[in-house]
């Protein structure tokens, strides 16, 4: 079914190219285009690349990268990209990257998770959700990982545009300084914060590992909990004094709301797929510290 869908999308992209005389709808005089999978990557790449590149995102904010299929126009843009920078392990990439590489053999693909200490299936206390190869995919929700990804981005951009490598290195250093400041503020907030939290979709596994927290997940291996499992979750949350439940707009909130009502705890909406990486990281820490978040 996925192969059939890809054929339809590729056909649509070909029609768009033909209708535009072989050109996409982007301006004819422009910067080189880079494609990334999710909005947090666009934030990091733009922070390092400055004005040297245009960056486009495949999976829009507010949609699930587990199930998203690219549009024909996105395939047109990808065909004109200088490179594709991927997270490494999220659902969209596991479903599509192989076919994209096959159909766009001249476009280099770079895995920005290179060098990250990955959470794998054996690390059961941290994750509860793994993808192909037994890897927890949400690597960007970690200050430690973000620094590594920044270095990877700098290396990629320097290989694509050697003339501006000095600029990329300078901007990468500035971004890493911001990441370290964010990490210090999170640690300050968590000194008096909760040590356990409940979340529907386990997007904060690396965040929890960084700061010695316990992430309890409603969703298990992509499945909704049974009534018996819900009762187990409620008992565990009581035992571990959970006071915060995180939800995301990409996923159903009904079970989270049921548990929140049963426990009398706060339901906090977070956006781990947001372009506003620093704001979202701090929002999680502020919630665990019992503080209101600040835009």
Across the range 191-196, mean pLDDT stands at 92
Residue 5, pLDDT above cutoff 50: no
CA angle (252 as vertex; 248, 258 as ends), nearest 5: 100
How far, in Å, CA of 281 to CA of 279, rounded? 6
Burial class, 25, CB count within 10 angstroms (exposed 0-12 / middle 13-18 / buried 19+): exposed
Q: How far is CA 5 from CA 2, 18, 31, 77, 192, in A?
A: 5, 20, 31, 18, 50
**Eight-state DSSP code of residue 225:** P
Residue 4, pLDDT above cutoff 50: no
How far, in Å, CA of 286 to CA of 191, rounded? 11
99 φ, ψ (degrees, to nearest 5): -70, -35
Structural domains for the chain: 2-114+137-182 (3.40.50.1980), 192-288 (3.40.50.1980)
pLDDT for the residue 76: 87
How far, in Å, CA of 126 to CA of 107, rounded? 35
pLDDT digits 0-9 by tens, 255-284? 999 999 999 998 999 999 999 999 999 999
From 140, 141, 139, 136, select the one nearest 120 (Cα to Cα): 136
pLDDT band at 223 (very low <50, low <70, confident <90, very high): confident
Percent of the chain with pLDDT over 90: 71
pLDDT digits 0-9 by tens, 93-145? 999 999 999 999 999 999 999 999 999 965 544 344 444 458 999 999 999 99
pLDDT for the residue 201: 87
From 102, 107, 41, 38, select the one nearest 79 (Cα to Cα): 107
Are 233 and 259 a contacting pair, CB within 8 Å?
yes
pLDDT digits 0-9 by tens, 62-87? 888 888 999 998 898 899 999 999 99
Q: How far is CA 69 from CA 1, 32, 87, in A?
A: 12, 24, 16
pLDDT for the residue 55: 97
Q: What is the mean pLDDT of the chain?
A: 86
3-state helix, strand, coil in the chain (%, to 5): 50, 15, 40
pLDDT digits 0-9 by tens, 6-57? 444 443 444 333 333 333 344 444 799 999 999 999 999 999 999 999 999 9
Edge-to-edge order in the sheet of strand 109-111: 54-57, 33-36, 81-86, 109-111
DSSP string of 102-144, one letter each residue: HH-TTS-EEETTTT----BTT-TTT-S--BGGGB---TTS-HH
DSSP string of 165-208, one letter each residue: HHHHHHHHHHHHHHHHHHHHHHHHHHTTS-SEEEESS-TTHHHH
């Amino acid at each position: 079914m996925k192969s059939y869908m890809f054929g339809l999308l590729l056909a649509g992209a070909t029609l768009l190219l033909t209708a535009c005389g072989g050109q996409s709808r982007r301006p004819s005089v422009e910067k080189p285009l880079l494609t990334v999978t999710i909005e947090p990557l666009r934030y990091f790449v733009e922070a390092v690349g400055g004005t040297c590149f245009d960056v486009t995102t495949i999976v829009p904010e507010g949609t699930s990268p587990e199930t998203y299929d690219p549009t024909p126009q996105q395939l047109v843009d990808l065909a004109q990209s200088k490179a594709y920078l991927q997270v490494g392990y999220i659902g969209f990439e596991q479903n599509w990257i192989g076919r994209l590489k096959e159909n766009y053999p001249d476009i280099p693909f770079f895995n920005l998770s290179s060098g990250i200490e990955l959470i794998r299936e054996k690390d059961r206390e941290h994750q509860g959700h793994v993808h192909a190869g037994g890897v927890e995919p949400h690597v960007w929700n970690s200050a430690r990982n973000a620094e590594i990804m920044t270095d990877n981005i700098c290396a990629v951009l320097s290989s694509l545009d050697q003339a501006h490598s000095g600029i990329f290195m300078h901007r990468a250093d500035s971004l890493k300084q911001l990441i370290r400041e964010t990490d210090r503020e999170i640690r300050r907030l968590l000194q008096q914060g909760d040590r356990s939290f409940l979340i529907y979709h386990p997007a904060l596994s690396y965040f929890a590992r960084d700061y010695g927290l316990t992430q309890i997940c409603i969703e298990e291996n992509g499945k909704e909990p049974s009534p018996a499992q819900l009762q187990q979750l409620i008992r565990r949350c009581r035992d571990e004094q959970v006071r915060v439940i995180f939800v995301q707009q990409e996923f159903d909130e009904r079970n989270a709301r049921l548990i929140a009502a049963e426990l009398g705890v706060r339901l906090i909406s977070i956006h781990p797929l947001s372009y506003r990486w620093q704001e979202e990281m701090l929002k999680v820490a502020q919630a665990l510290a019992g503080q209101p978040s600040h835009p």
